[in-house]
A and B are shown apart, each in its own frame.
Chain A
Amino acid sequence: MSASSPVISCRNVWKLFGANSKSYLKTLSGNPSFEEIRAAGHIAAVRDVSLDIAQGEMLVIMGLSGSGKSTFVRCLSRLIDITGGEVRVEGQNIGQMSEKELINLRRNKMGMVFQSFGLLPHRTVLDNIAFPLEMRGQDKHACRARALEVIELVGLSGREDYFPRELSGGQQQRVGIARSLAIEPDIWFLDEPFSALDPLIRREMQDEFLRLQAILGKTIVFITHDFDEALRLADRIAIMKDGVVEQCDTPAQIVLNPATEYVAKFTAEIEKSRVVQAQVLAKPITEASAEGRPIDGSQTIHSLARMLVNDTRDFLPVAAQGGVVSGILNRQDALDVLLGADT
């Protein structure tokens, strides 16, 4: 497997709920709507989704409840068997794995965090976190040592002997996160991990999550129904509606160029300048020329606002990491984004 090939690759993934949905799916042609499928007695949770997720990427799947996002992530880990298409994880078709291979994959490669935590009520924090290690049959001492390490990592030291019901929601989710990290997975699934938490705690947990990801650099599939959360965390966002991925792109592209009306509705209320970075708006150097001190391309337009308003140049050089000028920013474009001017 080469370094550039995707970690997870989905091709035309379908998931229908209903009797004999496999044979029904074979009769389908073209692209029937959600309602047409429902009229035939099936619920289409995932419709013809094709996606690639690269090594170390954080893909956020965003959609309202019932859009099929939770079902889709379960298709990726084969908690649910898909009706059609194929899902490959590191090149292996997981639909054709035996139970034993699948268990091995989950024991060594995958971790998952759940919305309502999914903790075992009869086990202490330590035992919950050691659970996946125990399932692998590791010896008690090694389980404990590793579990303590992860407890330290998620900031739960001192609470090893607590039972889940003795913890707050935020703490319980830290246990869930720690458990999913115990086996050092390469792929990390998070199914609305912060939705059950209060807004303040949610913010804190997002920061915590970003801190962990900065250390760990996992391949992540993150589910949320909160667009702000998606913008905050994502490398790429896939927006789902009625089982279909409406658009899958970087936050900046989604905000600047929504592919469908549905996506546009979501982005309407978003302050674009907080999402779009200077390098996104920059044109290639060949099209224009600019002089003077370059600006940092990874900064958002919003954070450059004062400078953009005060500067008198029409074109500004944009520097990529390391200070090399990589593009030219038209100041007018940037101001349009900043002020929300309609063109």
Chain B
Amino acid sequence: MSEQTLQLPKHQPVWNHQRTAWSILIFAISIALFKGVLPAGFVRLPDGLVIPFADGINAAFAFLRDDLGLIHVTRAFADMVEWLLNVTGNLLYGKNRWPRIGPIPWTVIASIGFVVGYALQGWRLSLLTGGTFVWIAVMGQWKWAMETLSVIVVAAPFSILFGLVMGVLAWKSRRVEAVMNPVLNIAQSLPHFAYMIPVVVFIGVGPKAGAIVTIIFSVPPMIRMSLLGLRKVPEEVIESGHMCGATRWQLLRHVRIPTARTEILVGVNQVIMQCLAMVVLASFIGMPGLGQKLLQLLQSLKIGRSAEIGITIVLLAVVLDRCTKAWATKQPAHFEKGTPYVVRNKFLLIGVVSAVLFLALAQVFPILDQIGRRQAFTISKPIDAIADWIIVLIDPITQWLRWFLITWVLIPIRDGVLWLPYISVLALLAALGWAIGGLRSAAICLAFFGLIALSGWWDRAMITVYTVMVSVVIAACIGFPLGIWGSFTPRRSSAALLICDTLQTFPSFIYLIPVVMLFGVNDVAVVGAVVLFAAVPLVRYTIEGLRQVPETLIEAADMSGATQMQTLWHVRLPMALPTIMVGVNQSTMFSLFMVIIAAFIGTQDLGQEMQRALSSTDVGKGLVLGLAVAFMGLMVDHLTTTWAHRKKQALGLI
């Protein structure tokens, strides 16, 4: 963008924007005020106007499935996946299928964990990785954890391969990329459940459906990262490949992909984390493993036992994340000349030797082979005791909080949102869009929410909107101060960032455990879980934004005699605002995902309907609901990124 287009809109057009935005806002308010005298069609979309998207989608799916015979293709693919799942199932937890040699003794897997951790980063990762497997075995959760891992082991390679191939295709052809980009945008804002319904229709329920939904769900980040990596390969490296006489294939295989290694491995990391998140949730479609156990225990309010499973899931998440990140950042290093084979391949040898050793020992001592339910430890009793003690101790506070939130915050806001005529809401959003990004943004807001209105799920959607709104506001009230506090010293901020990073690796399901423990099963628990989940990105990006402010600006403020508070208000925060908006954006996305997941502890919003669609395998309804959620997310995404972009331009940051 040239200087002129940058400078000019500052005065006149912005003023015009504001004026248009204000007049739309006044229109919205007057519609709301005169609600009583307006025809019913202004308050809620008349039934006749609702477009039966769901029927259309169902018809399309029926056509794909039965008339085009896509079901045979998917079944064939599912059979292949099932065969692989049987193999990994046999190896990891002794499923009675070919090759019938499993299960591998837990000590063998744990010892390999120790060696892999050490090879990737050193002692700490070694203890974390190996220790996690020891914990799982000792706590008697081996079978469930292996059921979960056996799916990841099958799903992740498929996702990585698909993602890489699609990434290469998108990189090769601008046209493919142009089609793929919006699809990926929508795919990444669809809630988890929206993926499950079509899979149930095509594949059915059970482990193979769980594996396939995991594959589909975790592909998008891999596509994004491979594309990014391939684009980032320096031009000179490619030219050097050309000059070495590489053919196109050789160039891709030997030059581009290896040079994009780091980005591709970051993609692998994201795929594995997404796999874990999905595999836990896939318990809703009959996937056995840790997720299913957690779901059962949580529904029967067994806090201690569910906390144990929660710890296992968290440990697995952290281990998988740290190991793949260590792999991504690990740079090759040379060995001195004449280093013997044994030293060059010491990790491989140690791994093999210890595996063989424990395999032999396990034949002699059964405890090293498998730990039965009876021999396992449990810490559920003390956890229960502590939880009970805490609950009793803070009961007055939680009771009061619950009462306060429900009567003074949640119910009034919910009633208010539901009371608003849909025309008002649409006009409000248009005004907001106009104020932020002019006609284009207003049109985008109107289109997204207009479609939600046309789908006929307005009231449900408004309940979702209200939950997300309340949660994000509460999360902001907690997250901003925490973030500001965390940004004051470098040590504090690096510690806080580490905690936030770790918290972000947890599958969303985990956040339900503490809130169910504290608040029981109700609206407050839902809001609580969403707040917890949504506060993390806010803290994180607040810290990052504040830390990124150039040192010279702060020095300039200091030399102007600003106090720490003045520097914060007038220098740091304004400069950090665009980054903080990224946090708000992510926070809203996370809230939307969490609200939908929290449906199973009792909500009346889109999530609950989605659960119903899942149990009745209604693809049309499920996808319409999922898209409604995605549209909300995409609208917020559009508004925050547009706003942050303009702000950055105004600050001269881009």
Contacts and interface: CB of A to CB of B under 8 A. Distances in A.
A88 B169 CA distance: 35
A79 interface: yes
Task: Name the residue in B236, B239, B243, B334 with the highest tally of chain A Cβ atoms < 10 Å from its Cβ.
Answer: B243
Interface string A287-320: 0000000000000000000000000000000000
A104 interface: yes
Given A106-B245, A131-B254, A132-B245, A122 B332 contact: yes
B236 A77 contact: no
Interface in A152-169: 158, 161-163, 165-166
B250 interface: yes
A106 B334 contact: no
A136 B244 CA distance: 9
Interface string A97-141: 001000110111011101111111111100000011011100000
B234 interface: yes
B259 A122 contact: yes
B255 interface: yes
A116 B261 CA distance: 19
A189 B237 CA distance: 15
Q: Which 5 A-B pairs have the closest CB atoms?
A: A107-B245, A118-B240, A132-B244, A118-B236, A161-B334
B255 A120 contact: yes
Interface string A153-188: 000001001110110000000001001100100000
Contacts of A165: 331
A118 B234 contact: yes
Contacts of B254: 120, 131, 134-135
B333 interface: yes
A122 B258 CA distance: 7
Interface residues of A, number: 39
B262 to A, nearest CB: 9
A120 B332 CA distance: 12
Contacts, number: 83
A42 B261 CA distance: 36
A254 to B, nearest CB: 29
Given A118-B239, A120-B254, 9 more contacts: A106-B245, A112-B240, A114-B239, A114-B240, A118-B234, A120-B237, A132-B245, A163-B333, A183-B245
Interface of A: 74, 77, 79, 99, 103-104, 106-108, 110-112, 114-124, 131-132, 134-136, 158, 161-163, 165-166, 176, 179-180, 183, 189
B73 to A, nearest CB: 36
Task: Name the residue in B240, B246, B259, B334 with the highest tally of chain A Cβ atoms < 10 Å from its Cβ.
Answer: B240
How extensive is the interface on chain B, given as a class?
A: 20 to 34
Task: Name the residue in B246, B258, B335 with the highest tally of chain A Cβ atoms < 10 Å from its Cβ.
Answer: B246
A121 B236 CA distance: 12
B331 A163 contact: yes
A112 B243 contact: yes
B289 to A, nearest CB: 36
A117 B243 CA distance: 13
B230 to A, nearest CB: 15
A301 B337 CA distance: 51
A134 B245 CA distance: 10
Interface in B231-254: 234, 236-237, 239-240, 242-247, 250, 254
Interface string B58-88: 0000000000000000000000000000000
Contact of B334 (A110, A124, A131, A183): A124
A65 to B, nearest CB: 15
Nearest to A107: B245
Nearest to A77: B243
A165 B236 CA distance: 16
Interface string B239-282: 11011111100100011001101000000000000000000000
A99 B242 CA distance: 11
A166 B333 contact: yes
Contacts of A108: 245
